[in-house]
Amino acid sequence: GHFTNGQVAESVYNYDETKVGTYKLPNPLINASGKAIKTRAEWATRRIELLQLFAENVYGKTPKQTVRLRFQTTSVDSSALNGLAIRKLISIKFVDYPKLPSIDVLLYVPKGRKAAPVFLGLNFCGNHCVTTEADLPLSTRWMMSGTGDVSVNNKATEKARGMQERRWPISMILKRGYAVATAYYGDLEPDYPEGWHAGIRSVLGDTTRADNWGAIGAWAWGMSRILDYLQTDPAIDAKRVISIGHSRIGKAALWAGAQDDRFAAVIANESGEGGAALSRRWYGETVERLNISFPHWFCERYKTYNKRVDDLPVDQHELLALVAPRPLYVASADGDQWSDPKGEFLGAAYTTPVYALYGKVGLGTTTFPAVNQPIGQTVRYHDRTGKHDVMNYDWEQYLRFADELVR
């Protein structure tokens, strides 16, 4: 990112468990007027209230208007990745906003499988960066500067090809019968404070409002537009589209899955603060630090909570609860204390009463597990050893989770 840890005062992050202190979380099953929620019907109303509270105070309001899309398939390779997959490139164009960049989708479908379930996740550095296939065009969009000339003057170079291939074990996923759909998150909005001028937020929303959507909202919205496309593709089982994302894109995957219940399941890999981690738990990154480092990610009003997170009308376990009764996977890494593994775990654990309304066991425990020990039922969690990253270990768990709960 643009900012490295330690640039601002220490008070905005904490790595000392003894300093976490006490906090009182809002109860997902007590509504804004203090009424206890006891039935699924009451939850349906409470759910709308929570979505609104997250929109007004955290992510900003997602514009509701229907945007006319045109799906243009620009390339089909019927024998990609050594014959494992059909590879399609689809540009999602905005009919009414011809100057906006398209969302350029890279889709791999396992060959010989009808109506494949699919993992849908945005990527950090262009489709060319999730695979080494040489014929895939380099994204021409604004790219963050990186080490080793992977971008020059904010444009991708050939050196970026395959750069995040390890995070996307596409062949392994295809062999398990799943399709993979991805697009560059910068197609929706380049990730820097003024980036919105070049993205969807330049034409939708209202920048004068304290609850105008932020970049995370734009990325989440883009995931739903890709889902719109997937619903039209007979090679895909549109009832089995899994929203997945890592880190900031994991925050977006959660917000997408919370708002759009066409997503069959949600996976948040090390989504951290503003994602799966509890905001009131003062550990790792804080709301204040997040808003200082990334002023464009959330709505303006979120900043007013920088020094008073206890006043937030919601906390992140309630975001996770919005996924119920659908399967949810929250994952951490023990080398990624910035994301607050324990705060992510507790976020997942505190969805339990909402899953129970549907007769489902969520995580089924409030005891933090040992490393590399996946736990849970409809809600699952693991704390992998190692760094802030997406590893095969993570994917192995996600594939098993999908095999058991999404197919």
247 classed as catalytic: yes
Residue 116 is encoded by which pair of tokens? 């494949």
What number of other Cβ atoms are within 10 A of residue 140's Cβ? 11
Residue 364 is encoded by which pair of tokens? 């089924």
Report the nearest approach of ligand GTR to the CB of residue 326 (Å): 23
Q: Give CA–CA dist 366/363, Å, rounded.
A: 8
Q: Helix, strand, or coil here: 114? A: coil
Report the nearest approach of ligand GTR to the CB of residue 285 (Å): 5
Which residues lie below 8 Å from residue 295, measured CB to CB, with a gap of 6+?
A: 193, 303
- How is 21-70 classified by DSSP, letter by letter? ----PPPTTB-TTSPBP-SHHHHHHHHHHHHHHHIIIII-BPP-S---EE
* Residues 333, 351, 56: CA angle, nearest 5 degrees: 95
Q: Which residues make up the interface to ligand GTR (CB under 6 A)?
A: 1, 247-248, 272-273, 285, 290, 293
Identity of the amino acid at 330: V
388 classed as catalytic: yes
Report the nearest approach of ligand GTR to the CB of residue 361 (Å): 30
* Residue 272 or 376 with smaller CB distance to ligand GTR: 272
Q: Give CA–CA dist 318/330, Å, rounded.
A: 14
Q: Give CA–CA dist 251/171, Å, rounded.
A: 26
Q: Please pick, among 102, 151, 243, 247, the residue that the annotation labels catalytic.
A: 247
Contact 155, 143 (CB under 8 A): yes
* Residue 257 or 376 with smaller CB distance to ligand GTR: 257
Report the nearest approach of ligand GTR to the CB of residue 208 (Å): 26
Count, residues in the chain: 407
Report the nearest approach of ligand GTR to the CB of residue 246 (Å): 7
Q: Please pick, among 171, 202, 293, 388, the residue that the annotation labels catalytic.
A: 388
* Residue 86 or 163 with smaller CB distance to ligand GTR: 163
Contact 295, 54 (CB under 8 A): no
* Residue 104 or 288 with smaller CB distance to ligand GTR: 288
* Residue 102 or 339 with smaller CB distance to ligand GTR: 339
> Which residues form the catalytic set?
247, 388
